[in-house]
Amino acid sequence: MSMSWHEGVQVGIDDARGRYVEATRDIEPGGLLFCPCHSPNATVNLPDPRLLHNAGEVLLSEPCAAGMVYRNAAPPCCSFCLGTLKEDPVQKFRCDGCKMECYCSAACMDEARRSYHSSEGECVAFEAGMEAEATTGFEFGDVPTRFLLRVVSQAGGWRAPGCAMDGPKLERVRTLRAHVPEPNTEEHRRLAGISRNTLRLMDESVEDGVRLVGISGGERYREAELTRLMCGVNCNSHTLYAHDRSSLVPVGIAVYVQGSAFNHSCVPSAEFCNVGTSLVVRSLRRVRAGEEITVSYVPTTMTLEERRRCLEGQFKFSCVCARCVAEDGLLGSGDAWGKDGRP
C-alpha cells in the first residue's frame, strides 16, 4: 500500500495544536464497516471491545515506517503480513536464527529478510537479546527494546554492525513529537540505559554510535539521539490487530509518520484501523469543511479516569474536550485538543 491522502483534507500546523488535519470540503460518513478501535499505547494493552462503526470515506492510507508482531501474539500471526499462522507454517517458516520471527510463507520470510530482518543485523540483535535475557536477567521486552531495534532496522536501514543507517526515512520518524524526560531524572537515566543496551545488542560502539548517512551528512547516531527516537516512537505508536480475525486482541505495534498528524478527541470524527501493517483512517461521521478531523488515542469506551491515565501517561497531556468537561462536571466546553493538551 502506498501513502495516499484524501483529496478533501489538508495538514496544517500552528503553535497551539502542532500538526493537525482539517477537512477542505464536506466529508460524508458511510455504511457499517468493521474496524478495530485505535489503541496506540502498546505499553498499556487495555481491552478494546468489538464495535461496528459508521465508517465512511478513507482519509489516509499509509504503510508503516516500522511495524512488529509481539513475541507471544496469540493466536500467532505472520511477522510480516499479520496473517493467521497455521501449525505447520509456524515451524516451516520460522527464522532459523533468532527463532522469534514466524511467517506464513516463504515469500513473506524473504521480503522481511530483504526489508529489515537481516541475518547479520536485526536477527543477530534479537538473538543476542534473547540470550542475555536467559543468562543475565536482562529484560528484552517487545516495547521498547525490541521495537526500537525494528525502527532502526526498518526505518533506519541498519543491516549489520558498522553499517550506516539511511538518513531520509529515519529523518521522517525523527520529526515526530517526542516527550523526552528532563536530564538527570530517574526516567531519563532509565531510557538512556535502554539506548545503551540497544547499541550493545547491535554490536555498535556505545561511544561512537551508528553512522547516519543522507540528511545528517554522516553524523553519528548516539545514545541521546536514540533516546529521543524512542520517546518519539512511544508517543506515536499504534496497536496492530490481525486483519483476518474478528477478535480485537492486540498482536503488534507500528509507527506511522503521516497518521501522527491527527490530534485527539474523546468524541472523534475519524478512526484508525490497520490492514496488515498499513494504516487506514476513515471518517466516522459527517465532517464539515474547515473542521479539524480528530481520532481518539485511547478506546472511547474507557471511563474518564481511564482515559486521563492513559493520555497523561503516554502522551503527556490532559484532555479537556467537550466530553471530558461534561463528564468531569466542569463548566464550559471545548473541541479537540492537540498533542500537548492545548485548545
Give me the residue label for grid cell 474523546.
Answer: 266
Higher pLDDT, 306 or 333: 306
> 214 and 113, same structural domain?
yes
**Claim to verify: residue 54 and residue 82 sit in the same structural domain:** no
89 and 229 share a domain? Answer: yes
Show the cell assigned to 235: 508517543
Specify the 3-state DSSP secondary structure of 237.
strand
Same domain, 95 and 127: yes
pLDDT in the model for residue 330? 56
pLDDT value for 59: 87
Q: What is the DSSP string of 177-201?
A: ---PPPTTSHHHHHHHHHHHHHHHH
**CB 195, CB 223: distance < 8 Å:** yes
pLDDT tens, 8-48?
899 999 988 889 999 999 988 852 222 333 333 333 222 23
Residue 40 is assigned to a structural domain of this protein: yes
Average pLDDT over residues 305-312: 93
In a domain, 308, yes or no: no
In a domain, 41, yes or no: yes
Of all residues in the chain, the percent with pLDDT exceeding 90 is 59
**Average pLDDT of span 76-83:** 91
Q: Is 331 part of a structural domain of the chain? A: no
Q: Give the per-residue pLDDT at 195.
A: 96
DSSP 130-144: HHHHHHH-----III
Quote the mean pLDDT of the chain: 84
Residue that terminates a domain, selected from 235, 267, 288? 235
Predicted pLDDT of residue 20: 93
Q: Are residues 215 and 263 in the same domain?
A: no
The arithmetic mean of pLDDT across residues 36-64, rounded, is: 51
Residue that terminates a domain, selected from 206, 235, 264: 235
Residue 13 confidence (pLDDT): 93
- Cα separation of 153 and 252, whole Å? 17
pLDDT band at 343, cuts 50/70/90?
Answer: very low
Are residue 48 and residue 127 in the same domain, yes or no?
no
Q: Is the pLDDT of residue 332 over 60?
A: no
Question: What are 144-166's pLDDT values in tens digits?
Answer: 999 999 999 999 999 999 999 98
pLDDT at residue 315, rounded to an integer: 85
- Is residue 203 situated within a structural domain? yes
| Whether residue 95 sits in one domain with residue 49 | no
Could you tell me the CATH number of the domain that includes residue 52? Answer: 2.170.270.10
- 163 with 54, same domain: the answer is no
Number of domains in the chain: 2
* pLDDT tens per residue across span 196-222: 999 999 999 999 999 988 766 678 899
Domain boundary among 205, 235, 265: 235
**What is the percent of the chain where pLDDT is above 70?**
83
Does the residue 214 lie in any domain?
yes
Higher-scoring residue by pLDDT: 190, 249: 190
- pLDDT classification of 49: cutoffs 50, 70, 90: very low
CB distance 294 to 265 below 8 Å: yes
Grid cell locating 222: 548516539
One domain for residues 23 and 144: no
| Least confident interval from 31-35, 75-79, 171-175, 285-289 | 31-35
Strands 263-264 and 292-295: parallel
**For residue 127, is it within any domain?**
yes
Domain check: are 260 and 225 in the same one?
no
Residues 23 and 15: their CA atoms lie apart, in Å, by 19
Mean pLDDT for the stretch of residues 292-319: 91
Contacts of 84 (CB under 8 A, 6+ apart): 75, 76, 77, 78, 104, 242, 244, 245
Over residues 256-303, the pLDDT tens digits come to 999 999 999 999 999 888 888 999 898 999 999 999 999 999 888 899
The closest alpha carbon to 211, from 172, 154, 148, 157, belongs to 157
- Asked whether residue 17 is domain-assigned, the answer is yes
* pLDDT at residue 247 in the model: 57
**With 80 as the cut, is the pLDDT of residue 1 above it?**
no
84 and 212 fall within a common domain? yes
- What is the extent of the structural domain holding 28? 4-64+256-300
Same domain for 225 and 142: yes
